[in-house]
Structure 1
Amino acid sequence: MAEQSAHQNVTFPSAGQDAHGYLAKPATGSGPGVIVIQEWWGLTDHIRDVADRLAAEGFVALAPDLYGGWITHDGDEAAEMMQKLPEEEGARLLAGAVDYLLGLEEVTSSKVSAIGFCMGGGFVLALAAQQGDRIAAAVPFYGVGQGVPESFAGVRAAIQGHYATEDTSFPVDQARAQEQQIRDESGAEVTYYYYEAPHAFHNDGNPQGNYRPEAARLAWERAIGFLRGKTN
């Protein structure tokens, strides 16, 4: 009988400090590595659930805590915390997460992939630009905020983006321009999908009520298939 998937809080070195995160492993005990990057709310139960769902799909998923344990459900507080996290600092912490994940014997892939939401979607792109060919695939969901890099020249990962046509935080014309910028500057494989939905449509615990079940289901199916095909 297969064991149940396991999850635990972990500590790992990053940029000369101890960083923390949530690690979820599949029932098989091993699989390709994926980093899950939080929204501006912090490392919430929803992000932990995303890691658990990835583990159920056969991945070893690590969700780093970019806020050092701080969580909010207030939009103004979340915006303030995001502003206090410069791209460089967040990317350095995430680089430590890449090292940690690749060092686990349970991780069977020679590269890791990354998936992130809202602020985390921006940091997914920053991580891909920073880490080059150590990232196999990057999946930003409506990436906004401090994490979005100015240049995508360092990106070597395949990119699959999920963006919303009713997103007032990151209007769809900006998303389309970003899609083309990544393609032009990196030469990487880039596919963006656009959904008739508002920002944060994937988050079924979103305090702002933007969850859209059908768009979320379709985007998740596409993301899982993409990650399976790219992370090995």
Structure 2
Amino acid sequence: MAENESNIEKLDQIQRAQRQNMNACGEAGDKNGMLLHYANVADTYDTFKDLPGWEQGRKNVALALHSAKPGYNARILDCGAATGQTAEEIIKLGYTNIDGLDMSMDMLRVAERKGLFKNIICDTIDGVHNTKIADDSYDVVVCNGTFMPGQMDQTSFPELTRITKSGGFIIFSVSFKYLHEWKLFKNGQLDSEMQKYVSAGKWKKVEQETLNYWEEEQAIYYTVYVA
């Protein structure tokens, strides 16, 4: 118990440091600060993966993928892969054809040592540029805990849609704390932008579910059916 309490305190410190390198008002994040932060925590980040409740978010995303029934040979992109914790949960369900994308090469190197990914891609899906990923590459793209200040928002939808196959799925989560406090989300902009994609025929539909993901915090888990 004492070790768990110590790790929870350390994780809280890491999250506070991370948020210092984000701008919760929704302006441009400090990318260099974020990269430095992730470089500093990469080798110890997995210390926290077995904390009670900490695994719930990544399990929820893995189960959402499984519920979409993409087939066990589906090509999957873990977007915001970090050290591969979400991929580990996906692999437990029988899916192994997974690539990992993250802005931090330091985090990806930790995942690479575990042998989780077919390919690793150091890049961002940020609404500013296109990645080098080919059109219609993936059956499923998952984004666990990446829709937050300084990382991803609704401007990422065009690139997420471009790299996902017709008939494929985009699965992502958004914490309630960001839905309520971040100006890019809090006035319903996220849902409004998703509806535009459905109305334009780019997406068939969007399903959502509200679940706990860490202690008392909740998140909405979205499953997008790409047209």
User: Under TM normalisation by the shorter chain, which class is it?
Assistant: 0.3 to 0.5
Task: Say which structure is richer in helix.
Answer: 2
Structure 2 length as normaliser, TM-score?
0.43
